[in-house]
Amino acid sequence: MSYLKPTLAVDIAIITVNDGNLKCLLVKRDDAADVGGAWALPGGFVHEDVSLESTAKRVALEKVGLADIYLEQLCAYGSLNRDPRKRVVSITHLALLPFDRIGKAVIANPELTLADIKIDWTGELGGPASAVSNEHGLLDLAFDHAHILGDVVKRLRGKLDYSAVGLELLPALFTLRDAQEIHEAILGHGLTKPAFRRKLLDRELIKPTGTKEVASAFRPAELYEKVN
C-alpha cells in the first residue's frame, strides 16, 4: 500500500553579525505564489538521490552563491498548514559566516536582503522573531519563518558558551573586541571585558598572531586567529 507523501525541503537561516546586530539573509518570494511578496529563508526541495546536507549546500550555492560555510541542522518543521500551497516538511539548517564573506553580489541583488533579527523578549523564553532591513523596513515573513528565526536565536544563545559557534561569525583575523561584540549581539546584553577575555583564551580555540590591527585612531589591538 502507498500513501501520499509530504514534500521535503531544506531551508537555511544564514546568519551573520555586523555592527552589533544579528542579521539573517532572506529572499523575496515570487509574486505569483501564494506567499508572493513576502520574504523567506532560502530553501529548496530534497530530491530522492540527494542527502540533506548536500541539499543544504546546493541551496547556499545556488540561491546566494555561498560555498564552504558552517552548517548545522536546527529542527524539522512539519505543521500541516505552514505552506499554504501544499504540505511541505522543512529540515531547517543554521548557517554561520563572517560578515566580510557576504559578497557584493549578495548586497546588490534586489531579491536578497540582509535583515536585522528582532526578538520580542517579553516572557523570558522568546517567541517568534521579526526581521527589519535597511532597504525595506519591517519585513513580511513567509510560512512559519518568523517562528523559525526565533528558534535560531534560542539555539545560538544556548550553544554560545559551550561550543565554538561564535567563532564561525568572525573573519580570519580578529580582535578580542570583535569577538566580544559578536557574543554581545547574540546574547542581547553586554559582557565584562576581563571575564570574556579569560574565558575565550582559556578555551584555547584562538591564538594571538603577534600582529596588530591597522588602527584608524588610538591604540590598536592585537589580532587573533582560530587554531586548526
* Contact set with its own copies (CB under 8 A): 3-8, 45-53, 73, 75-76, 78-80, 87, 89, 91
Query: Among residues 53 and 213, whose Cβ is nearest to its own copies?
Result: 53
Rounded CA-CA distance 37/31 in Å is 5
Report whether 125 contacts 58 (CB < 8 A): no
Interacting partner of 70 out of its own copies, DNA, none (Cβ under 5 to 8 A depending on kind): none
Contacts of 162 (CB under 8 A, 6+ apart): none
Rounded least distance, CB 132 to DNA, Å: 27
Contacted by 87, from its own copies, DNA, none: CB < 5 to 8 Å by type: its own copies
List interacting residues with DNA (CB under 7 A).
175-177, 191-199, 202, 212, 215-222
Closer to its own copies by Cβ: residue 116 or 151:
151
Nearest approach, Cβ of residue 89 and DNA (Å): 39
Q: Which amino acid is at 171?
A: P
The residues with which 113 forms a beta bridge, in sequence order, are 26
228 binding partner (options DNA, its own copies, none; Cβ < 5 to 8 Å by kind)? none
Instruction: Determine contact, residues 102/183, Cβ cutoff 8 Å.
Output: no
Residue 226 binding partner per list its own copies, DNA, none, with a CB distance cut-off of 5 to 8 Å that depends on partner kind: none
CB closer to its own copies out of 24 and 88: 88
Report the C-alpha gap between 185 and 190 in whole angstroms.
8
CB of 200 to DNA, least distance (A): 10
CB of 57 to its own copies, least distance (A): 13
219 binds, among its own copies, DNA, none (CB under 5 to 8 A by kind): DNA
* Cβ-based nearer residue to DNA, 153 or 176: 176
213 CB contacts (<8 Å, ≥6 apart)? 175, 220, 221, 222, 223
CA dihedral (13, 18, 21, 27) positive or negative = negative
Rounded to whole angstroms, how far apart are CA atoms 112 and 120? 24
Who's near 95: CB < 8 A, 6+ residues apart? 12, 13, 14, 15, 56, 60, 66, 69, 70, 71
Q: Which is nearer to DNA, 137 or 194 (CB)?
A: 194
Instruction: Return the one option of its own copies, DNA, none that residue 52 interacts with (CB less than 5 to 8 A, by type).
Output: its own copies
